[in-house]
A and B are shown apart, each in its own frame.
Chain A
């Protein structure tokens, strides 16, 4: 099948499931494109004239040449068309994701290719020449770095380093094996006179092999994520995606240099040795510079707390600088920027503010998706056109060899590395790895950039590359999901919970300890050593003083923050039921809540409570996790709320000063308490009676017991989490799920009471006695409180300020 027709039919098929609305959008954009190209044609013809006119205008004859309406399309052509392309691709993506089933069926790169083919068809149909956006320098200087930076930055560090040996072995050696295997076997094919390929030299074949072996399995990663394949397998593919580009590009550049040399003189064995040495130098040097720049940028972000707007800039510029510096020295910029991203990520994330962090993440995703979209559109544009050379033999053999050599390298390399692994990759895993050899934008760009002077049959190479890409992306990319499900690859269902994190930490130390005891040295110990070094020196130098110093703490904070946000959301939700002003709330408080209210609160709680969380590992080339984005967006809200409540600190946070609903919902966050250490030795008191009646009859609670007394009791109760369920008159006695919730909320509430720091209690007492008279005093306490409480603690605080403002 001719690739053009194939693409066309695919395009139609791909577009069919779009809703009518998306059709409209697409058509509109298409119209725009066509219109623009029409315009362009007309301006092309009149360009000469216009130019003349402008010069004439410059040469002091204004009256004659001022025109009311002129068009200068040439001036804006490139950015104009690029913008339209990106917009079109974005609209297509929106349509793609509006459809529920489609994203599960095919990878997103399919869509991008289809859009590219569509644009290509439009350009081809209108005889419009595509603007020369893509050339070697544009690709290597502007399009490639963002893609690499993004995948480096979002790499899940821990599993990567846990499997570092296998990843390097597979990604590094696999690329080399593939490149040389494919190159050499194609060279043999070229020797057959019947195919008419005699003029393709060995070097050219090797070069083609190197570019066609650049695997880009990002599309597959999305599938893996959905299927939740085991971590090792995921890491293999991710590591391949990460390192493969770098290795192929290095190989490509060296081979291009060889080809140039070959034109003028013979290549001697010394040169080949030099090439091998160079390969190593280029790789290691790149990594070295990357690490250096990563540390520098981490160090600089240490001092940016007052101008946090500059933080993302620092991150991006230093990453780019590492790339440029490496390229200047003829080292591998790709590896440099990857290493830079990996190095700085850890420290930068702790240094920069939350908003900057969000900005960095989104900006990175955005840049890389722009680059990729452009490359795919170029691919589509060059798919449909006249510059193809079709040679059955070459193309078919390329396709076959790609698969064969991938199979060989997978099975051979994993056979070896399995000998050293405690948990070997099963045959199923290996099959999946073999099948995920999807080629992508990288191969195409390298083929497209081949210098025509050195490669007379460049067209053939481009065509073959396109065929391989289309084949792998469409056929393998679409079928890999069903294959994973069919093979029933070992899965992981990890959830991110604080318990798991703790256990994993404990396990790490335990393993390192046991290895110490039995006198071994392995990667647990290496990690242990690195961590110690990291704590002793690196973190002290690179990270701001006042920040949490352990990833465990920061994870906890993250989780807590998330819960706080859920609280706010649910609080806002439930507040519709209690949106009465403050005074009204107070009166309402004494009344019993209606069963519906209780039920709705319960629903909210069950929905928001300890849901199984997505693992952080999740990686999607084009999207960030929606939850995390919400999280970050809401974080500002939370902080603002926190500052706002400092000034509002008064009756609202009193137990009786707000509706039970919001109070119940707040249970999940714990304040950073400072329970008195002595208290642990004191008696363990049960306070369920006072607390249980909290929501119903709070005044009684506080009136019957003298406040200080109850506080005393509460404070001395750190050991026991009461699990008593509430007996509310308004609630049905038998509750199934509901009971669970009430226990939970109860538990949380009591915990809150326990952990409430001392100043708050004073504030509460005072306010309780003097009701709302002492505003200044309360504010003073509030500020005192805020000094003690950290931002994470705000889940404890009242919602009312926020709600009232709303």
Chain B
């Protein structure tokens, strides 16, 4: 009785924290147990059990994201060794669709959270910057499913994207110098003052700029509604 009570208490707490409904939490919990083999925590190896994930070209990035301290809101860098159910829910909550009832501010906040998660997928060394090298890694991984693509084309794509990103951010910078009273704190902002500076990488602010106008809220979400179709894992 007491255990059941505390369990439901726990669920309610989780509901408040992550925004999932109790049904969803229950479903996810079942899945969590399935993945962990009835252990309280999941380790990286557990993800090997998901057969469909094996073919995913960015598999390692996805798995990593689950253990990333920044995503777990536990620190500014590093990886956790294992995650418990609450952490699991925290990660999943990044993929909750945006509620239609939310007001503009909440939507913006939610959007930013989602983007931060994405940003962390790129920024593997957690220095707050997507460097060219990191970008190239991601692109190579994205294209790794296809053996016909040479590394060079992946590289040049990343280079092109980086250039584009740099131009977006520099363009912003130029405008920010004008009438705008609060220029954004980005690496490029410092550029005009110090011509010797190099564009080291995409900062989170730049990342936001790049994503401006792309409605991530309709893109980055997974449905947690009908969870009945739980795929088996071996």
A interface vs B, CB < 8 Å? Answer: 230, 232, 422-424, 492-495, 497-500, 502-507, 509-522, 524-525, 528, 532, 535, 548-550, 552-553, 556, 559-560, 609-610, 668, 670-675, 680, 686, 688, 718-725, 727, 736-737, 739-740, 743-744, 747-748, 751, 755
Point out the residue from A514, A548, A559, A725 that lies within 8 Å of B62, measured CB to CB: A514
B124-149 near A? 1/0 per residue, CB < 8 Å: 00000001110000110011011011
Docked-complex contact A495 and B213, CB < 8 angstroms: yes
Residue of A510, A727, A744 with most chain B CB atoms under a 10 A cut-off: A510
Hey, which chain B residues are within 8 Å of A744, CB to CB? 166-167, 170
CB distance from B224 to the nearest CB of A (A): 7
- Which listed residue (B52, B156, B197) contacts A673, Cβ 8 A? B156
Is the pair A518, B156 in contact by a Cβ cutoff of 8 Å?
no
Query: Which residues of the other chain, A, contact B53 by a CB distance below 8 angstroms?
Result: 513, 516-517
Whether the pair A520, B148 counts as a contact (CB closer than 8 A) is no
Closest 9 pairs (CB-CB, A-B): A513-B62, A549-B148, A516-B52, A519-B230, A723-B199, A493-B213, A725-B195, A516-B53, A498-B161
Residue B109 interfacial (CB < 8 Å): no
Q: Report the separation of the CA atoms of residues A528 and B145 in the bound assembly, to the nearest whole angstrom.
A: 12
Instruction: Please give, as numbers and ranges, the residues of chain B lying within 8 Å of A516 by CB-CB distance.
Output: 50, 52-53, 56, 231
Known: A519-B34, A747-B199. A674 touches B145 (CB 8 A): no
Interface window among B7-15, B73-81, B215-223 = B215-223
The answer to whether B166 touches A723 (Cβ under 8 A) is: yes
Instruction: Decide if B116 is an interface residue (CB 8 Å cutoff).
Output: no
Choice from B153, B161, B164 contacting A553 with Cβ under 8 Å: B153
- Chain A residues whose C-beta falls within 8 Å of the C-beta of B153 in the assembled complex: 548, 553, 556, 672
- Output the least CB separation between A721 and chain B (Å): 5
A755→B192 contact, CB < 8 A: no
CB distance from A610 to the nearest CB of B (A): 5
Question: Which B residue sits closest to A422, measured CB to CB?
Answer: B97
Known A494-B214, A724-B198: A670·B167 in contact at CB below 8 Å: no
* CB-defined contacts of B211 to chain A, threshold 8 Å: 503
Which of these, A498, A673, A727, contacts B152 with CB under 8 Å? Answer: A673
Q: Given that A423-B218, A519-B231, A721-B132 are known contacts, is A737 also in contact with B47, CB under 8 Å in the complex?
A: no
Q: Are B229 and A502 in contact (CB under 8 A)?
A: no
A517 close to B170 (CB less than 8 A) = no
Asked if residues A721 and B160 are in contact (CB atoms below 8 Å), the reply is no
With an 8 Å Cβ cutoff, the count of chain B residues facing the other chain is 81
- Can you spell out 7 A-B residue pairs with CB atoms less than 8 angstroms apart? A513-B53, A516-B52, A518-B92, A549-B149, A671-B156, A723-B166, A727-B195
Known interface pairs A520-B227, A550-B149; A509-B160 also in contact (CB < 8 Å): no
Min CB distance B217 to A, Å, is: 8
Residue of B nearest to A512 (CB): B56
The answer to whether B220 and A721 have CB atoms under 8 Å apart is no
A114 to B210, CA, bound (A): 45
Q: Are A721 and B199 in contact (CB under 8 A)?
A: yes
Residues of chain A within 8 A (CB-CB) of B174 are: 736-737, 739-740
- Chain A hits for B168, CB < 8 A: 499, 610
User: Given A509-B57, A517-B35, A550-B149, do A610 and B167 touch, yes or no (CB 8 Å)?
Assistant: yes
CB of B113, distance to nearest CB on chain A (Å): 15
* CB <8 Å contact, A499 and B164: yes
- Any A CB within 8 A of the CB of B37: no
B192 & A509 in contact (Cβ 8 Å cutoff): no
Given known contacts A498-B157, A610-B167, A514 and B142 CB-to-CB distance under 8 angstroms: no
How near does chain B come to A192, taking the closest CB pair, in angstroms?
Answer: 45
Q: Which residues of B contact A739 (CB under 8 A)?
A: 174, 192
Could you tell me if B132 and A718 are in contact, using CB atoms closer than 8 angstroms?
A: yes
Nearest CB in chain B: distance from A221 CB, A: 20
Q: Which of B56, B159, B220, B231 contacts A507 (CB 8 A)?
A: B220
Q: Whole-angstrom distance between the alpha carbons of A560 and B139 in the complex?
A: 17
A509-B199 contact, Cβ under 8 Å, with A553-B153, A739-B174? no
In the complex, are the beta carbons of B198 and A740 less than 8 A apart? no
For residue A510, which residues in chain B have a CB less than 8 angstroms away from its CB?
58, 61-62, 65, 118, 121, 220
Which residue of B has the minimal Cβ distance to A509? B58
Complex CA–CA separation, A670 to B210 (angstroms): 21
Interchain CA distance A42-B142 in the complex, whole Å: 73
Residues of A within 8 A of B148 (CB): 549
C-alpha spacing A362/B56, complex, angstroms: 38
Q: Which residue of B lies closest to A232 (CB)?
A: B218
Bound state CA distance, A721 and B198, in angstroms? 6
Q: Chain A residues with Cβ under 8 A from B231's Cβ?
A: 516, 519-521
A666 to B165, CA, bound (A): 19
Whether the pair A719, B133 counts as a contact (CB closer than 8 A) is yes
* Chain B: CB-nearest residue to A740: B174
The reply to whether A740 and B55 form a contact with Cβ atoms under 8 Å apart is no
Verify A556–B156 contact, CB threshold 8 A. Answer: yes
Q: In the complex, what distance in Å separates the CA atom of A723 from the CA atom of B219?
A: 33
A412 to chain B, nearest CB (A): 20
B45 touches A (CB below 8 Å) = no
Cβ of B155 under 8 Å from chain A: yes
Bound-state CA distance A610–B153 (Å) is: 20
A507 and B214 alpha carbons, distance in the complex (Å): 12
Q: Note all chain A residues with C-beta closer than 8 A to B142.
A: 502, 505-506, 509, 552
- Report if B110 contacts A (CB, 8 A): no
Q: Give A230 to B171 CA distance when docked, in angstroms.
A: 26
A106 to chain B, nearest CB (A): 29
Shortest Cβ gap from B94 to chain A (Å): 9
In Å, the complex CA distance between A727 and B195 comes to 9
Of the candidates A423, A670, A724, which one forms a contact with B195 in the assembled complex, judged by CB atoms under 8 Å apart? A724
B143 to chain A, nearest CB (A): 6
| Chain A residue contacts of B61, Cβ below 8 A | 510
CA distance A744 to B166 in the complex (A): 9
A548 and B97 contact, CB distance less than 8 A? no
Q: Does B43 contact A (CB under 8 A)?
A: no
Complexed CA–CA distance, A514 and B178 (Å): 43
B103: interface (CB < 8 Å): no
B145, A535: Cβ atoms under 8 Å? yes
Q: B210, A500: Cβ atoms under 8 Å?
A: yes
Q: A505 CA to B173 CA in the complex, in Å?
A: 28
- Please name all residues of chain B whose beta carbon is closer than 8 Å to the beta carbon of A517 when the two chains form the complex: 31, 35, 47, 50, 53, 62, 66
- B219/A507 in contact, CB under 8 A: yes
Q: Which of B95, B157, B177 neighbours the largest number of chain A CB atoms within 10 Å of its CB?
A: B157
Question: For residue A688, which residues in chain B have a CB less than 8 angstroms away from its CB?
Answer: 196
Question: Do A670 and B56 form a contact, CB below 8 Å, given A500-B210, A506-B142?
Answer: no
A residues less than 8 Å from B171 (CB atoms):
610, 740
B70 to chain A minimum Cβ distance, whole angstroms, is: 16
Residues of B within 8 Å of A512, CB to CB, are 52, 56
How many angstroms from the CA of A680 to the CA of B131 in the assembled complex?
Answer: 13
State how many angstroms separate the Cβ of B82 from the closest Cβ of chain A.
Answer: 15
Q: Are A525 and B195 in contact (CB under 8 A)?
A: no
A722 touches B198 (CB 8 A): yes
| B72 is an interface residue with CB less than 8 A from chain A | no
Cβ of B185 within 8 Å of any chain A Cβ, yes or no, is no
Q: Is there an interface contact between B159 and A751, defined as CB atoms closer than 8 Å?
A: yes
Are B133 and A680 in contact, with the CB atoms below 8 A? yes
Residues of B within 8 A of A498 (CB): 157, 160-161, 164
Q: Which of B47, B62, B100, B168 has the most CB of A within 10 A?
A: B62
Give the residues in chain A near B59, CB-CB below 8 Å. Answer: 513
Residue of A nearest to B35 (CB): A517
Smallest Cβ-Cβ distance to B187: which chain A residue = A723
Which A residues are CB-close (under 8 A) to B199? Answer: 721-723, 747
> In the complex, which residues of chain B have a beta carbon less than 8 angstroms from the beta carbon of A672?
152-153, 156
CB pair B143–A552 under 8 Å, yes or no, is: yes
| Cβ-defined contact, A520 with B157, below 8 A | no
A747 B133 Cβ-Cβ under 8 A = no
